[in-house]
Amino acid sequence: MEQATATLENVKTDAYNKDKLIFDVALCAGVILMENGAETYRVEDTMERILSLSRHREMDVVALLTGLYVTLTLEDHRYLTAVRRIKDRTFRLDKIRGVNTISRRLAGHDLTIEQANEMLKDIAEDKEPIRFSKVYHAIGAAGFALMCGGNLVESVIAGLAACSIILTNKLVQNRVTGSFIPSFLHTFVMIFVLGVVVRFFPVLRIDRMAIGALISLFPGTTLTNGIRDTMRADYLTGVGNLLAAIISGTALAAGTFFALALTGGFFL
């Protein structure tokens, strides 16, 4: 009898540990998605699909801009609850794609929960592409300048001006929170550099170069997510994203204004 009881307890413990691991995997997936610009419904749907692999009776997932709230009620009436504060938000579509792939493979039983846990940890710790993100911005700035009608010289100058983000990013890194001041400084330095160049070479068009340099900083993804969340009745997150897009856009406008005012760009 004692042996049977001990065996039953071990089975219950193993089952609970598995449910706990599933819960941790779902939470990790949700945090990665939230921190890398995924839509609210995508975060909640992905977490619910992973949590459905457990012995659940009920689940509640609430994803907000600044926090993630998860509660899982198991068949034995135990509760698993967690709250995660979302402090930093960026845009890494490769991480979102990786989490979605893991979620689909889990749902299709092509992946064990232990394997998924290790893969999610690798995704969460992956910071390698950030090293090259500013270079990509410079290339994008040069390309957009060409699309706006700029010549090859203006395109190259726009790309070089966009490289100033590397400098300003080091100045504000781990010193300033929020999006307004970093966006303002990025914009101010870029447009200031372009304004100084145009003062020495008046033949260049500052409008084409400025649009090319700024367009990659425009919060298009945040604006789109805000509209989509609002249309799906996630009003709190939707309004938050729209407000964040407005603040970032205001920072771009303010940085451009002050840079042009100092370099005389309004009269070029």
Concatenated DSSP letters of 5-18: HHHHHHHHHHHHHH
Q: Do residue 116 and residue 135 come from a single domain? A: no
Rounded to an integer, what distance in angstroms lies between the CA atom of residue 23 and that of residue 70?
A: 9
Q: State mean pLDDT over 235-261.
A: 88
**Number of neighbouring beta carbons within 10 Å of residue 49:** 15
Q: What is the chain's Cα-based Rg?
A: 24
Q: What average pLDDT does the chain have?
A: 82
- Do the beta carbons of residue 244 and residue 238 sit within 8 Å? no
Q: Do residue 139 and residue 262 come from a single domain? A: yes
Domain termination residue (choose one: 94, 125, 156): 125
Q: Do residue 105 and residue 147 come from a single domain? A: no
Q: Do residue 111 and residue 219 come from a single domain? A: no
Q: Do residue 101 and residue 134 come from a single domain? A: no
Q: Do residue 244 and residue 160 come from a single domain? A: yes
The pTM assigned to this predicted structure is 0.77
Which domain range does residue 229 map to? 130-267
**Least confident interval from 68-77, 102-111, 124-133, 200-209:** 124-133
pLDDT at 3 over 60: no
Domain termination residue (choose one: 125, 150, 178): 125
Q: Do residue 78 and residue 44 come from a single domain? A: yes
Q: State mean pLDDT over 82-109.
A: 87
Q: How many residues does this entry show for the chain?
A: 268
pLDDT value of position 26: 93
- Do the beta carbons of residue 88 and residue 109 sit within 8 Å? no
CA triple 125-131-135, angle to 5 deg:
145
Q: Quick one: tokens of 75?
A: 């068949």
Residue 82 amino acid letter: A
Q: Do residue 139 and residue 248 come from a single domain? A: yes
- Do the beta carbons of residue 213 and residue 183 sit within 8 Å? no
Q: Do residue 38 and residue 120 come from a single domain? A: yes
Q: Do residue 152 and residue 258 come from a single domain? A: yes
Q: Do residue 106 and residue 147 come from a single domain? A: no
Domain termination residue (choose one: 67, 98, 125): 125
Q: Do residue 170 and residue 226 come from a single domain? A: yes
Number of domains observed in the structure of the chain: 2
- The per-residue b/e assignment along 82-98, b for 16 or more CB within 10 angstroms, e otherwise, is eebeeeebebbeebbeb
Q: State mean pLDDT over 82-108.
A: 87
pLDDT value of position 33: 92
* Digit-coded pLDDT (tens) for 44-85: 999 999 998 888 888 899 988 888 999 998 887 888 899 999
- The per-residue b/e assignment along 157-193, b for 16 or more CB within 10 angstroms, e otherwise, is bbbbbbbbbeebeeebeeeeeebbebbbbbbbbbbbb
Select from 182, 170, 208, 187 the least CA-distant residue to 253: 187
pLDDT value of position 178: 63
